Each structure stands twice: as C-alpha cells, then as structure tokens.
Structure 1
C-alpha cells in the first residue's frame, strides 16, 4: 500500500490535530502493536465472517476481506509489512490496508466493533499463547529438576536456615523442592489460561450494538472456551485479566529469583559447591582472574521486571467502570514483562541442566552439629522426652562416632525427606497436567 500517512479513524472535518499531542496519544502503540497485530488480524477475519452472517457483508465482500486479511497476516509474518509511524496503531493499520485494497468494502470492516473490543480480543488471544508458553517452560524445568532429584537424592549437600548450617540435606532434596514448586507453577499457568480464555469480541465499546451479532460464532471461530457475555464486564475486565496473567508469571519468576540466589551462593569461592560451564559466565573488563555469573545475577533480577509491570498496571486501575484512555498504558508493561519473563525461564534451563556439583566441597561443609537433630530424634524414639533429648543432643560429644551423610539422609523416613522422597508422586502430578 501507499506510504502516505493515513487519516485518523476518529478524525473530524475542520478539526486540526496538534502533532505533539498526537505523538503523546499514540505513545508506543505502533511499536507495541507489532506483537499484537497477528492476533488483531485473526480477530478481524472472524469479525468479517460474523458480519456476513448478519447481512452486513455479502459473501463476495466477506471473501475479499478474508483474502486480504490472510495476505496481510502472511506479509506480517514474512516481514514484508511492518507497522510503523504511518499508522496510529495496529487497528488503524488493518483498516487502512483493507480500504486501500478494497475501497468501500474495507470501510465496512469496523461495523459493530470498537477499538476497545479489538484490543481486548487481540490481547486475550495473545495472553492465551503466553500462558501456554509459561506452562511449557515450567514443565520443562520441572522435568529437569525431577531427573536430577532422582539421580542425586543421596548426594550430600549442607542444608541451611537463616544462612546458617542446619541439617544434612542432599542435592536431590534441593532439586525435588524446586521440581514441586515448578509443577505448581505449571498448574497455575494452566488454570490462569482457562480463566482468561473468554471472548470479548462483539462487546464493542462496552454497551453492545444494534446488530444481532452472533457472538457464539466468533467465540467458536477464535477457539475461545467461553463467551464473555456482559458487554460492560468486557470493558471493566481490561487490566484485571492482565494482572492475573502477570501474577502467574510472577510466581514462576519468584522461583527463578530464589534458584538464582542459591546458585549465586553455591558458585562463590566461599561455598564452592558447584560450577557452571564457561558459556554461562562473563569476564571482568579489568580483572583478568574473574569469571562472573552475570546470567545468574540477571535471572535473579528478572522478578523485579515482572512485579514492576504488575504494580504499574495495578496503579492504572484506580478507575470507574467503562473505558478510559489511561488503560493504553497497560499494554507496554504487559508485553515487556512477558517477553522478559519467558526469556528468563527459557534461559534457566541451561544452567540447571549443566550445573556440576563439587561433592568434596559439599561434604567438607557438613560438620558434627548438623547431626544434632538426628540424635535428638533417636533419643525421642528411645523414650526420652523430646525436650530432654533436645538438650542432650545439643551437647556435642567430640569422641562420638558420627554417621555418614548418607546414613543421616537414609533414616529420614518422613514423606518428602531423602529416605522417602516420593518422587513418583511428583512425576504423576506432572503427567496429569500434560494430559
């Protein structure tokens, strides 16, 4: 189509538009809508088919619109069409292309819809895919953690509370803890995906239109699980659904942060419990001796990006019902948070798969005091009241023969401990999510 700037969809004859104000109003939409444009095109196709069903479009007009929308989608995917400053946003770009190609037929595409339900449906379709990606990444990480838990359940690792040596633990127990958390994250992503899988198309600006739009048809056509029935709710759900999606993402990134924190400690010379291949580290610009775990540190920081986006959108939602232009500012944080957050989850897979433990350093960090709780439990099982057993176990006998770390781990028979980790239950829970 022509490179000439297009008239604003909402422009009025004789009303001049201040260029500075228009730049402010458009904001980042042209750049941000590049991610949403394929979904907006897909929803426009369904809307065109719906307009044919109620007689606004003839069969030929609908076929022409669908053909041009398919060609536009292919051009976007192939990089031949790039959303740029010629357009106010993705919505106006679609309409401008159709008018350029089809004239009056293109001018009919916006019948019965608003940019409000356009952005709602495109965002909802996009979010549904993000939830699928979030689910898959958590499943992948949980699978790696479970595999390592099985292989390393009896590999001794000091257990800490308050960053102080506490009890004998194992690398396998460490992995199993993250595995179960990641499985829960996958379940949360899945249930959140179901919760937001509702079709707002046809709600227009939040009040409905005087056309018998077949909204059940577009719901089925776009693969939504249900229709978002109330036109009013469709509008007031903007921001609400995004917040829930970000909350699911934040749960996953919270685990990324804590795993990265553990690895930051374990990789330090003071702990020295593990190492990573060189590709996961960088060098110092000044100190030739340094290899820095920059990837791990930036993974640790990534939670801040997601929770920051969530707080930003939450702050916008101090609004009455109906649409307000403030909500335009929800798009940027949402897109950035998912782009960064999903990248972080994907990048974590390499380090957790390739991490190498230093068994000698881990064993050397296990001292006599870390067996005290085991001794107290042995005394309690022999009939000594626990508070008395606690006092006796606190007095370390330097001449006592200590068990091995493996013996300590093996006698922990409470469900979920190293002696009875019940990893098969976690495998089954993960498998159920994937059915």
Structure 2
C-alpha cells in the first residue's frame, strides 16, 4: 500500500528534463554555441552579473543554475515579486558568510527581475557593485524599462530566443522515454509543439494513444503568448501599425488576430485604428477616418466577435488607402513651435468686437470676410501674429485627395503673392 505522506512527489516533466550541463541545453546556440558571447563568458575565469531576457520556457533558470554550478558558486534563488528588501539583505549577508568561511562566491538568481521596485534595487546595488553578490536576473520583459541604469550598467543583458520547431522536436525526443507506453501520432506531436504546453494532459487522462484531436481538445483553452501590459503587447501593436502603414492588409489582419486571440481589450484596438486613419492616411483619403469611427461605433453596438469584423474592415481600408502623414507632421511641428515660442498677441483684425469699446479700440478693423471676396478667398490676408513669420507646416503629399489639396494651396499662394505685390505698388 502506498504511503501518501512519505512518498516523494513525482517531479514535473520539465524538471526531469532539466539539463545537467551547458552542452545539454537545447536552443540558444546564438549565445551558448562555441565562440558565442555567453559561452565565452562562462568559459572565462570569473563569472559576471548578467540578465537573461526572453519568453517563458526557453531555459533562463537552467542557464542560471548551470552558470553557478560551472564556477562552484553558492546559489540563492529569489523571485522579485516575493523578495523584499529584507530578503535581499539576508541574501547578501549569507553570501558574505559563505565567502568568509568557505571562500565561495554567491550567485543571486532573481526571477522576474523587471518587477524589482526602487527600494529593492537600491538595496541590491551596493552588494553587486562590490562583488558580494553576482546577480543573474531572468525576465520576460525588456529590462531597460524597469531596471535602473545603475544596476543595468553592472549586468550584461543576453536576449534568449523562442525555441524553434526543430528544437522542440528534440526536446520531445528526450521526453519520449519518460512518457511510458503512450503512443503519439506525428500529427499529435506537431500539435503539441504548436501549443508547447500539453505534455501532462495524457498522463492525467490515463490514455494510451495520443492523436491530434486529443491534443486540440486538451489545449482548447490555451492562448498564444501575450501579455496585455508587457513587451509582447507593444511589439504586436507596433507590428500592426507598421503593416497598415506599409499597405499590407493581410499582415495587419494577422497582428490584429494575434492580439484579439491573446485577449487584448478590443476597444483599445478600435482606438488605435482611428488614430491610424488620421496619422497614416490623413487627407489623402479623409473617408478612412469616417470608416474607422463607424467601425468603432459598430463594435460598441455589437461587441465580440461580430463587431470585430467591422474593425477588420476598417483596418483593411486603411491599409490599402493612399498614405499621407502630412497632417501629423504639420500638427507636431506647430505644437513644437508653440511650446518653444513666447506668447504672441492675436492681431486686432482677427479679434471679435461684440462691444462698442472693442470697436473703438480697433478690434476686427479691416478684417476681410472671405465669403465676400472673389472665389471666397481673401487674397493677401494674414492670419498669423503680426510679428511672426508665416509658417508652411502642412505640405500635402502627391497621393490621393491631397494631390488636389496641394494644387489648390499652390494656386492660393500665387494669389497671395499677386495681392501683396499690388499692395506694395
């Protein structure tokens, strides 16, 4: 009879497969291969602090443990979420004791290092500076966003890549002998690799034969890698924007589907699509903004999944529309100018004069009402402050409707020059 209280729990498959040496690590050959940066560092005479940045499940913890083992360093593992200033100081004190009594240095492995707050970083920095602790951090997020420059400057950042299908197949081949009598169809293995998280489902179900249908059912509730507030989120919205700007509707739809599949707030996508219409299409096709706003309103009425189709329609429209960022450029130039400039008075002829006193002071005097002028244009009239040179921030592009807008502006400016020449003569 099995003793439930004394039997050792069975280690998870990932733990059973954890490499015992650097040569057994699958993937990351760009860092761990012969002559590559991290391998060269680990083959040197002294271990340095470094941060491993990459997606989940690519070997960050394993590499940290193997690095400490290779140098016979004491190994302390903490999570930046759970470890406070007290725990970090205790780790430093323990490291000093190990060094004093055994002559061994210590590696402090900090998982999720991007979650360190300022107090934690301030407490950790001096111990890393003097070498009391060799820091190895692991993060799925860009460390430059959260880790301060002082700590970051003392740790080399190594970027880890997702495992390729070939590397996942290699891992499966290693795991296969540990899965007992289970029989896998090739299509099922492909499906498992696609999900990369279904390795324990068969054991739990106590079945003997694994096909692709079983894998699909077992993994039905999984989602692709996506962090609504993290780097993957910003990378994907960046890819969507660049795809639409580059007039590739299919790629834009792909990134939109990735984000929706990952659980993005679809209203956020709707807002970004509206911004795209103004920022990337502008007056080259003003209908793009109307289409985008209508799509956002349709989503508000329909919700998911039906309303997503309207957003997809708007995104495709924007992707294939003629492109112009002329309004966006002009707006940012105007805003930059105003923020750097002094406050200038509104010219008297452009002010309203609702009272007699204002009229007596010259408000609205000599203002030319455009609708009373030929072609509704007051040629030669000035609208900037009197002591400020006229600006030409808006430069229409020769695409879509803006090509006609540009032609009109050229004609109007010619009329201005003629009117001002007559005024001078």
Q: TM class by shorter-chain length?
A: under 0.3
* TM-score, normalised via structure 2 length: 0.24
Question: Which structure has the bigger radius of gyration?
Answer: 2
Return the structure number with greater helix share: 1
